[in-house]
Structure 1
Amino acid sequence: MTAAMQVTGVNAENLSEVQEFYRNKSVFLTGGSGFLGKVFIEKILRATDVKCIYILMRPKKGQAVEERIEAMFKNPLFTELNKLKPTARNRLIPIHGDCQLSSLGISPADRQTLLDEVEIVMHSAATVRFNEPLYNALAINVRATMDLMQLAKKMRKLQAFVHVSSAFANCTVFHVDEVYYKNELNITAENMCKVADLLGPEKTNGMTSEWLGKSPNTYTFTKALAEEAVLSEGKDLPICIFRPGIVIPTYSEPLVGWVDNLYGPMSILYGVAHGVVRVLYLHLDTNANFAPVDMCANLMLVSAWNTAKQMNQTTSVPPPIYNFVPDERNMLKWQTYRRTLEEHAPKMPLTKMIWYPFVIIVNSKLLYNILILFYHIIPGYIFDFLLLLIGKKRRMIKTYQKLHKQIAVLDYFVEHKFTFTMENTSKLWLSLSRADQKIFNFNIREINWPEYFHNSLMGVRCFMGKEQPETIPKAKRLMQRLLILHRTVQVLVYGGACALMSWAFLRI
């Protein structure tokens, strides 16, 4: 027992080792402007006394880096932090750079600052677009990882490096253990980058299908290559890999159901709520491998602490991997997701619906293609024609083309069932004190999924739809009117079809 503990009489279980670890530490974060990155920044500033966070960022859409950071802290996500720690913003130090550039585009002066000061590296930056051109995906997801590891090797104070990967990085394997799958690749990360340099963007992208092999898209292929890079080039670093599933709204902190993007299932949910998406291709008996974003941030923080703790242990084992998805003790099926949405979505509709929200789910690709013709394409042309008549810009067909393209890239994951082991993650959770389990909760087994999805629905409505709870009565009235219109159209269409078939039968 330490002297401080003897004086205060505090039990070790009530102390937070993780908070103490981060006290006065300097952290370097990439991907800080992303969904997970924002939540990570908010949590580490609110829950620890970290010295500073160096954040890699580039100007975007006419905004300077400093302006982007100021805009970030005006987001509702940071409301509680701004109240509790009004000066926390000052601990965020921008490092001008870009993951698409050689050596991350960091200036010599900033590079020296990182080499002298950084103790923890959190590498969260990535392009998450499944259809990203291969050359770009290699630069962002692979080369940037390799460049950052080379930089980290020269950081004299480095204690931990967390590489954020994906539970689906190795999706050619359908049962994913917390191990490396380098044998699934037909080339190493280093050689792939060398080949891309020699071929250039056009030829590299033109040979995408040949390089991907069994991988369904450039995202999973390059994330798998990045893991191979960690194994081959990062083994001398205090490094670990974090593999989250599909990252979705916050579970509990700092806001329930917070979300700021429309990727993956959230985009589909938003489309259904607007009355735009009416048909989905999905196998309801497969696992929905979701991971709440606040729990992901907590696991990142804890895995760095554990990596630093193990740093002085001499071992030849590969860097540890932490899978993070629902496991068999609290498994989540798409069926549960659908039932919850059906139960709760009508209680909180949007005021901006263009049609009565409903969705038909089928597990046949052929039937899906037939149904989208009648429920998406034909209504889209009719809607665009009406917009043209009133002098407004046509948009529905373009919207559906974009939606169908986005949904199509998910087919591979719809058609295969994935299972995961989480032994390392479970052991890490059990190693925490009660205080740390409370402060840095990532116990995914405790989640009540129906309750969580109810909160997520409200979060999507508030944070993405910008509609507060007081607008729900107005939205319900609109939904009732749209329901009457929907039923009227159904009667006319079905009645017309029956009349046409009767006429055709009488003509025979």
Structure 2
Amino acid sequence: RAIAGIMVTIPEYFAGKNVLITGATGFMGKVLLEKLLRSCPDVKAVYVLVRQKSGHAPSARIADMVNCKLFDRLREEHPNFPDKIVPMSSDLTQPELDVSREDQQTLVDCINIVFHCAATIRFNEPLKDAMQLNVLATQKIMALAHRMKHLEVFIHVSTAYANCDRSVIEEVVYPPPVDYKKLIDALEWMDDKLVNLITPKLIGDRPNTYTYTKALAEYLVQQECGSLNVAIIRPSIVGASWKEPFPGWIDNFNGPSGIFIAAGKGILRTMRASNDAVADLVPVDVVINATLAAAWYSGSQRYTRPKSLLVYNCTTGGINPFHWGEVGMNVSLV
């Protein structure tokens, strides 16, 4: 923290800290893990909640993940970085996150900073599944965070589109159209057919269950954070890296990346879109830098910063708008 008016740097703040990351195997989670270990080499340990998948244990999944090109620069600069990663078996959809009692106690005793990145980003996810992953999992992570003895800051990664039904989105948490607690209770007894039937009415002007449940999750965080030091990051459409660890890194063909690649290859020749609509793209490394900076500010200034929950819109459309009508021209120039 700031001492005698001197603010510590981001690497200095993270030095000696134990960090917990959910969603570390996802697109943003990987970049967060790499950037944290590379730029803050004195971080004590990074705990990652990972579910077993296709018979592969969490430790094996992480070992395989860090062998990808994304971690090459980190490997050159800090060859022993895997020693600081502590995988823990978890399933966010299960009671108590399916984390063992022993691992829970470890987290309760040592974690200083939480980055909650895990979410489903499928636009067509059934409402029940989206609620499980985006709302209930957030509630469980917050419950665990309340037990942590040395927690300094909790960062919740949301989306700028959580409130896409509004023409102006300020850096505040907006109340959702329904009480999330009542919706959770109702979904307990409703069958899938009934839920699917009422989903369009529930989500209203929002285009999908993703944006709807992310809005509910934000409100849940605000309502249940209590005395926790919390900040929310709202990125727009997260795309390939700008600079770090190298330009152009991407691990999927989702969203605009798939469109650009398909157009560049000549596979996609037409697309239905408004030429004047803003494609609010933001590089993943910009989002991760903002996320780490938010944790640093909220943590290092926790005794002097505003007591209210802080929200950061991480977007480009307001300052450097890129329109869908420009896609064809720019892709053809590459």
TM-score, scaled relative to structure 1:
0.62
Taking the aligned partners of 1:339 and 1:291, their CA distance within structure 2 comes to 19
Taking the aligned partners of 2:311 and 2:306, their CA distance within structure 1 comes to 15
- The equivalent of 1:159 in structure 2 is 152
Which of the residues 181, 197, 209 maps onto 2:188?
Answer: 197
Structure 2 residue 108 is matched with structure 1 residue 118: no
Taking the aligned partners of 1:203 and 1:236, their CA distance within structure 2 comes to 38
Q: What one-letter code is carried by the residue in structure 1 that aligns with 2:214?
A: K
Q: What one-letter code is carried by the residue in structure 1 that aligns with 2:37?
A: L
The alpha carbon displacement at 1:83 in A equals 1.3
For residues 453-493 of structure 1, give each alpha carbon's deviation from its aligned partner in whole angstroms, at most 9, with x where no partner exists.
xxxxxxxxxxxxxxxxxxxxxxxxxxxxxxxxxxxxxxxxx
Taking the aligned partners of 2:194 and 2:284, their CA distance within structure 1 comes to 37
For residues 5-38 of structure 1, give each alpha carbon's deviation from its aligned partner in whole angstroms, at most 9, with x where no partner exists.
xxxxxxx7xx961110000100010010011000
- The equivalent of 1:149 in structure 2 is 142
Taking the aligned partners of 1:86 and 1:113, their CA distance within structure 2 comes to 26
Look up the SS of the partner of 1:78 in the other structure: helix
Which of the residues 224, 229, 233 maps onto 1:233?
Answer: 224
* RMSD, aligned CA: 2.0
Structure 2 residue 24 is matched with structure 1 residue 35: no
Q: Is the 8 A contact 2:235 2:315 kept in 1?
A: yes
Taking the aligned partners of 1:173 and 1:143, their CA distance within structure 2 comes to 25
- The equivalent of 1:213 in structure 2 is 204
- The equivalent of 2:14 in structure 1 is 22
For residues 344-392 of structure 1, give each alpha carbon's deviation from its aligned partner in whole angstroms, at most 9, with x where no partner exists.
1xxxxxxxxxxxxxxxxxxxxxxxxxxxxxxxxxxxxxxxxxxxxxxxx
Taking the aligned partners of 2:145 and 2:207, their CA distance within structure 1 comes to 31
Structure 2 residue 310 is matched with structure 1 residue 320: yes
Q: Which one has the largest radius of gyration?
A: 1
Structure 2 residue 167 is matched with structure 1 residue 174: yes
Runs of 5+ consecutive residues of structure 1 not aligned to the other structure: 4-11, 345-508
The alpha carbon displacement at 1:340 in A equals 1.6
- The equivalent of 1:354 in structure 2 is none
Taking the aligned partners of 2:188 and 2:227, their CA distance within structure 1 comes to 26
Change (3 A) 1:202 1:26: farther
Look up the SS of the partner of 1:280 in the other structure: coil
Look up the SS of the partner of 1:169 in the other structure: helix
Q: Is the 8 A contact 2:48 2:88 kept in 1?
A: yes
For residues 53-109 of structure 1, give each alpha carbon's deviation from its aligned partner in whole angstroms, at most 9, with x where no partner exists.
110101123322122111111110101111111110111101111122222221111
- The equivalent of 2:91 in structure 1 is 98
Q: What one-letter code is carried by the residue in structure 1 that aligns with 2:249?
A: W
| Percent of residue pairs bearing the same amino acid type | 36
Taking the aligned partners of 1:211 and 1:295, their CA distance within structure 2 comes to 33
Q: Is the 8 A contact 2:8 2:300 kept in 1?
A: no
Q: Is the 8 A contact 1:134 1:208 kept in 2?
A: yes
Look up the SS of the partner of 2:282 in the other structure: strand
Runs of 5+ consecutive residues of structure 2 not aligned to the other structure: none
Kindly report which structure 2 residues correspond to 1:83-482, keeping only aligned pairs within 5 A, or say none: 83-182=76-175, 185-313=176-304, 317=308, 319-344=309-334
Taking the aligned partners of 1:259 and 1:178, their CA distance within structure 2 comes to 28
The alpha carbon displacement at 1:153 in A equals 0.9
For residues 396-415 of structure 1, give each alpha carbon's deviation from its aligned partner in whole angstroms, at most 9, with x where no partner exists.
xxxxxxxxxxxxxxxxxxxx
- The equivalent of 1:386 in structure 2 is none
Q: What one-letter code is carried by the residue in structure 2 that aligns with 1:103?
A: E
Taking the aligned partners of 1:250 and 1:315, their CA distance within structure 2 comes to 32
- The equivalent of 1:46 in structure 2 is 38
How many residue pairs were aligned? Answer: 331
Taking the aligned partners of 1:328 and 1:227, their CA distance within structure 2 comes to 22
Q: What one-letter code is carried by the residue in structure 1 that aligns with 2:264?
A: A
Taking the aligned partners of 1:238 and 1:31, their CA distance within structure 2 comes to 20
The alpha carbon displacement at 1:273 in A equals 3.2
Taking the aligned partners of 2:195 and 2:318, their CA distance within structure 1 comes to 41
Change (3 A) 1:120 1:260: same
The alpha carbon displacement at 1:187 in A equals 1.2
Look up the SS of the partner of 1:162 in the other structure: strand
Structure 2 residue 61 is matched with structure 1 residue 71: no
Change (3 A) 1:98 1:201: farther
- The equivalent of 1:353 in structure 2 is none
TM-score, scaled relative to structure 2:
0.94
- The equivalent of 1:434 in structure 2 is none
The alpha carbon displacement at 1:235 in A equals 4.0
Q: Is the 8 A contact 1:103 1:144 kept in 2?
A: no
Q: Which protein has the bigger helix share?
A: 1
- The equivalent of 1:442 in structure 2 is none
The alpha carbon displacement at 1:271 in A equals 2.3
- The equivalent of 1:465 in structure 2 is none
- The equivalent of 1:480 in structure 2 is none
Change (3 A) 1:36 1:186: same
